Amino acid sequence: MNYSLQEPVMADLHCHTQISDGRLTPQEVVVLAARKGLSVMAITDHDSASGVAAAEREGAGRGIEVIPGIEFNTDWQGTEVHILGYGIDATAQMLRQQLAQLQAYRKERAAKILEKLRVSGIFLSFQQLSANVPGETFGRPHIARTLVQYGYVSDEAEAFRCYLRKGAPAYIPGYKITSSEGIRLIRQIGGVPVLAHPGKEDYSQVLPEWIANGLQGIEVVHPDHDARDEGFWLSTAQRYRLLISGGSDFHGPDNIHGADLGSKGVSLAVVSALKDQALRNQKEG
Ligand SMILES: [Zn+2]
Ligand SMILES: [Zn+2]
């Protein structure tokens, strides 16, 4: 199948909300998508699908199709690999169990980070942090925001640089499912697993294994990709007969992560191919 990346962007298939580490509520993201003239969007929060239902309801009233999605933060041999899932059953029992477990790990991890910060003379309570976590997913960006709020650092980038990033004093590695586990889980709940923003990583050794586990697409269009990356991953997708995807990785109006909603995305033909595949997966499942 051939895809033109030149067609107008009508669909932004990579958007975060407050449910994970975005700034806006699911409803607000859909309202913004309407203002940007998008006709399709996917809600792809990290390790959570809790924002999907509210976004779907808002979208129905505004003529915007919301694709139920998720973005799993997974581990492949010590490297963090993100796997997107499109067309998932956001209410599946199996997903709920897996996510509840991940959520619990993330909460524990946040508590451990606060303990480590205390060693550096920073005293934030769990309550102070929780006030900045609007959803159910505790992430380092929330800790960064809290550090800014209480004047310990001047911005979130400094919080990561001085305390939270790998190698910094308060770093705690996150628990992650493996990439293959993430791929299989997405298939089990009827979704299409897509390798997110591969960038300049070399996945040539592991790609066949992921495909054998059920990977069906590659995110070709992403703000971190330059034209060469797009070309490389488009041809890789074609070589392995994989679908493509794309989006802005929108996290909020300040664009600390990702880009403006609707500034990156794909045509409706790409959306149809993903939706058709999701339907086939659900029939097989
Ligand atoms: Zn990602
Ligand atoms: Zn993302």
Residue 140 lies in a domain: no
In a domain, 220, yes or no: yes
Residue 74 lies in a domain: yes
| Segment 23-71, tens digit of pLDDT | 999 999 999 999 999 999 999 999 999 999 999 999 999 999 999 999 9
pLDDT at 6: 58
Ligand lying nearest the CA atom of residue 81: 1
pTM value is 0.87
Express each pLDDT in 129-165 by its tens digit: 999 998 778 989 999 999 999 999 999 999 999 999 9
Within-domain flag for 49: yes
Report which secondary-structure segment, H or E, holds 85.
Answer: strand 79-86
Range of the domain at 248: 11-98+189-284
What is the number of the ligand closest to the CA of 249? 2
Residue 198: nearest ligand to its CA? 1
Place of tokens 């477990």: 101
Q: Cα(134) to centroid of ligand 1, in Å? A: 20
79-86 and 192-195 as β-strands: parallel, antiparallel, unpaired? antiparallel
In a domain, 155, yes or no: no
Return the exposure string of 242-273: e unless at least 16 CB atoms fall within 10 Å of the residue's CB, then b: bbbbbbbbbbbeebebbbebbbbbbbbebbeb
Whether 182 is in a domain gets the answer no
Contacts of 233 (CB under 8 A, 6+ apart): 198, 218, 219, 220, 225, 244
Write out pLDDT tens, residues 66-119: 999 999 999 999 999 999 999 999 999 999 999 899 889 999 999 999 999 999
Domain count, the chain: 1
The verdict on residue 147 lying in a domain is no
CATH number assigned to the domain comprising residue 28: 3.20.20.140
Ligand nearest to the CA of 83: 1
**Is a pLDDT exceeding 70 seen at residue 177?**
yes
- CA–centroid distance, 179 to ligand 2, in Å, is 15
Residue 28 in any domain: the answer is: yes
| CB-CB contact of 109 with 172 (8 Å) | yes
